[in-house]
Copies of this chain bind each other. A is one copy, B any other.
């Protein structure tokens, strides 16, 4: 693999001149430029990004640590992040934390070791040591989707979706269809989205004169299995809920598994709704009512904020809003009753 000195030699110039040509520095005579470019083409030379990074102290790479790649919400997020970053001339290195704090820490550490220019992170837990460290040492950092409530992290911008209104709409929808005993499969209490969705759900219930039983809050971990387990607990109750709201799409999948395994039917026996909409919800039996986040915009906004930080501009937090997409899993839509 040819290095810059090979190009210099072949073009009969110094490495400095080659470097200037490569970085479109103006003070190179046109014919010299030609010669250098010709040598570059002949040798198939490509600058070594590792060496360049060492010298310039920037890698033009961003780190993205997400909680679970297998969750369609996060893969869509990852995709939009990569798109936005590429447009701005950055690469993205993805780390999958699998909802495990120690894995999250591993990835943050590896990314920092590789000296990525900035970190986009959707924390799995209450804040791992490496992450606090990264924030403290001034690594540009942006939280996406979830964030950490810690005063030492107060300056880290948060790009997220506020599901409050959509959740209220969902509760209204359920209420209108006659459901009164509503339950929620919550995310981990350590995550902000975990808590927030429960809070919003509880507040909305209150608005409709309902209360959220302690027995109707199940602790999940955003994985399908936990949705199954919690749903089993709900269904074993003497008076089971008549509607279940899963705080993410994987737990909704688990819930469906369990409901189906017991020979019950959605929405006849029990209604089901989920946070996060995915293409498959159209084709499930029945199609699932869900709260959709503007995932693409979320990714773009997050990258914009992070790159602002990286390039020395101030960055702001962004809050987008989610919307309810009603389908048939909570009962027949209002207008369509016979």
| A contact residues vs B (CB 8 Å cutoff) | 1, 44, 46-51, 53-54, 59, 61, 69-70, 72, 75-76, 78-79, 82, 86, 91, 93-94, 96, 106, 109-110, 112-115, 133, 137, 224, 253, 256-257, 260, 279-280, 282-286
Q: Is the CB of A115 within 8 A of B49?
A: yes
| Number of copies of this kind of chain in the complex | 2
Query: Which residue of chain B lies nearest to A130 when distances are taken between CB atoms in the complex?
Result: B46
Expressed in whole angstroms, the Cα–Cα distance for A75 and B49 within the complex equals 27
Q: Is the CB of B283 within 8 A of A260?
A: yes
Chain A interface, DSSP helix/strand/loop, else mixed: helix
Q: Which of B44, B53, B79, B133 contacts A133 (CB 8 A)?
A: B44
Q: Is the CB of A47 within 8 A of B257?
A: no
Query: Which residue of chain B lies nearest to A68 when distances are taken between CB atoms in the complex?
Result: B79
Expressed in whole angstroms, the Cα–Cα distance for A91 and B115 within the complex equals 14
User: Which residues of B are found within 8 Å of A106, using beta-carbon distances?
Assistant: 86
Q: Is the CB of B282 within 8 A of A283?
A: no
**Can you list 9 contacts pairing A with B, beta carbon distance less than 8 Å?**
A46-B113, A48-B113, A50-B54, A51-B54, A69-B79, A70-B76, A75-B75, A91-B110, A253-B280
Expressed in whole angstroms, the Cα–Cα distance for A33 and B69 within the complex equals 40
Top 5 A-B pairs ranked by shortest CB distance?
A: A285-B285, A280-B280, A49-B113, A283-B284, A49-B114
| Residue of A44, A82, A280 with most chain B CB atoms under a 10 A cut-off | A280
